[in-house]
Amino acid sequence: MSGANSLHKQYDVLIVGAGPSGLGVGVALQTLGIERFGIVERGQIAESFRRWPREMRMITPSFNAYAFGYPDLNAIAPRTSPAFSLRTEHPSGQEYAEYLSLFAQHYELPVCTGVEVQAVEPSPTGFWVHTSRGTTQASFLVWAGGEFQCPRTPDLPGAHWGIHTAQVRSWTQVLGNQFVIIGGYESGIDAAIHLSRLGKQVTVLERSDVWEREGHDPSVSLAPFTQERLRTEVSRGNITLIAGVEATCIERVHTGYIVYDQDGNAYPTDTHPIFATGFYPSVRQIEPLFAWREDGFPLLNEYDESTITSNLFLSGPSVRHDAVIFCFIYKFRQRFAVIAHTIGERMGLDTTPLEEYRFYNMFLDDLSCCGEECVC
């Protein structure tokens, strides 16, 4: 990779994070001919995916149909396909990390690994970015850090007894026979499925009835891949799904732990309760540079730019526009060209090379079609 592990003193554009959003924006910038850009990553390329539980798979399928005008749902740039590279339909985290590493190598992206961003300070010409390898300056900054390394745990008595799904490297390593999972969206149900396959008894507590909800958007309902696997495991009698429940307390007892709900109902488990309660936006590291929505996500303008700090952009699963959630790769990749187009215009560059993204990116110009029918 060109410039790999070389942190320069000055950039036109600096991208924080070498996951799918950071690398995807990088290639879009490269398409415009921008040379003085860099990507910094505190771990390895695709660090978040490398930390996934070994059994976890992408819920969106990979299928190489570019020849027919349809991009692989898990691809991050035109003319690339995890299905083609990996020969698998639902890649694991490690497999997807391999795709992203091959992607970065192929495009010779200037990724500098082992660099932790410690602070960001606006300057008259852009930003001072203070890192573990020194300070660098950038005219434009794109925050593309992953969320998996920022697990959200509930604020309830006894929460220290629980473990988050992000802390699990393999479900085979979690001891116990009776499990209680708090949270019933994708990560919670995925955990329940894998534990059931190991012959464990699992109770899932969830505020809503997400497993019964019908919808075309897996951001608010379970994906078909998850529903299909869940039906199989429920039929085996190992999984109990309980909706309308909010965990309020965890108690340590001599037989293990007890989770209590809002009505005082008790759910015993012989091992640590498991939190599948989502993640915080990693951009909270530079929280003062963004205004924030009531739901805890950054407030962005139509260019995915901070509304209070010019030339600071957000890319990745934390992007929200009104009620539209861009938390999956096939969603947030639709914003790569928006960011690149905006930066290119402000740099006075010809942005027509991004035309290739038009069939791939339905939101290149603005959010005029930003609604449920477009997003999904």
Both 316 and 351 in one domain: the answer is: yes
- The candidate with the shortest Cα–Cα distance to 303, out of 371, 370, 376, is 370
Write out the two tokens for 6.
Answer: 């070389």
Residue 314 β-bridge partners: 143
The pLDDT assigned to 370 comes to: 39
> Chain centroid to CA 376: how far?
17
Task: Determine if residue 176 is left, alpha or beta; phi over 0 gives left, psi from -120 to 50 gives alpha, anything else beta.
Answer: left
Both 132 and 200 in one domain: the answer is: no
Least confident of 36-45, 124-133, 282-291, 363-372: 363-372
Residue 2 has pLDDT above 60, yes or no: no
Q: Does residue 268 form part of some domain?
A: yes
Count of helix runs (H) and strand runs (E) in the chain: 9, 17
Both 242 and 307 in one domain: the answer is: no
Both 167 and 216 in one domain: the answer is: yes
Residue type, position 244, single letter:
G
Residue in this structure with the two tokens 């990779």, named with its chain if needed: 1
Residue 177 has pLDDT above 50, yes or no: yes
Write out the two tokens for 114.
Answer: 């082992």
pLDDT-derived band at 363, boundaries 50, 70, 90:
very low
345-358 pLDDT, tens digit per residue, is: 999 999 999 987 76
Write out the two tokens for 7.
Answer: 């942190």
With residue 229 as reference, give the H or E element that holds it: helix 224-235
Both 296 and 207 in one domain: the answer is: no
> What average pLDDT does range 234-242 have in this prediction?
96
HSE-up of 105 (CA within 13 Å, CB side)? 7
What's the DSSP call for residue 322? Answer: T
Residue 312 β-bridge partners: 141
What's the DSSP call for residue 62? Answer: P
Identify the domain boundary among 257, 275, 293. 275
- The candidate with the shortest Cα–Cα distance to 317, out of 20, 119, 16, is 20
Both 31 and 111 in one domain: the answer is: yes
> What average pLDDT does range 131-159 have in this prediction?
95
Least confident of 36-50, 73-87, 214-228, 243-257: 214-228
CATH of the domain at 170: 3.50.50.60
Yes or no: say if 111 and 30 are a contact pair by the CB < 8 Å rule: no
The pLDDT assigned to 362 comes to: 45
Both 172 and 235 in one domain: the answer is: yes
Q: Does residue 154 form part of some domain?
A: no
Q: Are strands 239-243 and 247-253 parallel, antiparallel or unpaired?
A: unpaired
Both 191 and 166 in one domain: the answer is: yes
309-357 pLDDT, tens digit per residue, is: 999 999 999 999 998 899 999 999 999 999 999 999 999 999 999 987 7
| Structural domain containing residue 249 | 159-275
Both 241 and 307 in one domain: the answer is: no
Both 107 and 51 in one domain: the answer is: yes
Identify the domain boundary among 275, 291, 309. 275
Number of compact structural domains in the chain: 2
Q: Does residue 303 form part of some domain?
A: yes
Give the C-alpha separation, 111 to 25, whole Å.
Answer: 12
Both 67 and 90 in one domain: the answer is: yes
Q: Does residue 63 form part of some domain?
A: yes
Residue 249 β-bridge partners: 260
Both 330 and 265 in one domain: the answer is: no
59-112 pLDDT, tens digit per residue, is: 999 998 767 777 899 999 988 999 999 999 999 999 999 999 999 999 999 999
